[in-house]
Structure 1
Amino acid sequence: MVLLFSCESDDINRNPFIPDVSFRFDLNLNLPLYNDLNIIGSPIYVDNAGVGVRGAFVMRTGPSDQFVAWEANCPNQAPNNCSTMVLEGQNASCPCDDYEYNLFFGQLLNPPQDGSRFFNLKPYRAVLAGNSVIISN
């Protein structure tokens, strides 16, 4: 009886716009391309083929091994010609709908006022291993 009531589906919270893709990509912190990841709050955009749907934003959020990675496709848009977000300091914005997202927490900063449903940024794993940050899904 307990099993019947303790199981729930997270389908209602699942983003229908961004497909799940499997990937793993290493960012070597010794390379100049990823130098900004040595500074807290200085995000980079990784647009290598096979990384997420439209690439990923990666940022160090604290000392030592604290990193976040987010899908770069607008979370409230299906992948299309305007759905790749752009970096704006420690935020990312979507040119399709003018939504802006905080890269520390992945939250939408300017939610719709009409009560319509919206999604925050899609997170990826970001783990420090030696001198590399490994991002994956």
Structure 2
Amino acid sequence: MKKFWLLIVFVSILFSCSDNNTSNKNPYIPSYSVNLSIDMNLPAYSNLKFVSNGIIIPNYGAKGVIIFNAGSGYTAFDAACPNQALTSCTAMTINGINAVCSCDKTEYSLFTGLGGKEYPLKQYRVEVIGTVIHVYN
């Protein structure tokens, strides 16, 4: 079990440190400008202070933005299903440590964005200053 968590932390760090935008080259999800800041001291976002918790912020990106506390930092992904046409699905939902596509029920890890399909979740950059999380591209 300890090795499993070590692997998750390593993969999370690897993806969060990467400046590689290959996960963002997706023909189904347009590149919308995202510039979002939230304060974890506000009740709506306070769950993000705890590891393995995530929230969906609507009205950003294609279908909203999912922000997730991965323990070693925060990840942010678009809530649009990455392997479906944008108009065919509603926003993804959060099921524990996974995001679930409403169309095909594929689950994507909120640690890595991977889901075993052709395209991973569309990832955004995250910067944390104190209790404020800034998500942008």
TM-score by length of 2: 0.78
The structure in which a higher percent of residues are helix is 2
Report the Cα distance in structure 1 between the residues aligned to 2:61 and 2:30, rounded to whole angstroms: 9
Deviation at 1:82, TM superposition (A): 2.1
| Unaligned 5+ runs, structure 2 | 1-20
Matching of residues 36-51 of structure 1 within 5 Å: 36-47=47-58, 49=59, 51=60
Partner residue of 2:100? 93
Q: 2:67 is matched with which residue?
A: 58
> Secondary structure at 1:35's aligned position in 2?
helix
Instruction: Report Cα offsets for 1:75-117 as digits up to 9, x if no partner.
Output: 0012125241111111011121221101011110xx36xxxxx
Q: Which has the larger radius of gyration?
A: 1
Offset, 1:62 = 1.8
Aligned-residue CA RMSD (Å):
1.9
**Identity percentage of aligned residues:** 35
Work out whether residues 88 and 103 of structure 2, in 8 Å CA contact, stay in contact via their aligned partners in 1.
Answer: no
Cα distance in 2, alignment partners of residues 14 and 22 from structure 1: 14
Q: TM-score, normalised by structure 1?
A: 0.78
1:124 maps onto 2:104 in alignment? no
Unaligned runs of 5+ in 1: 1-9, 113-117
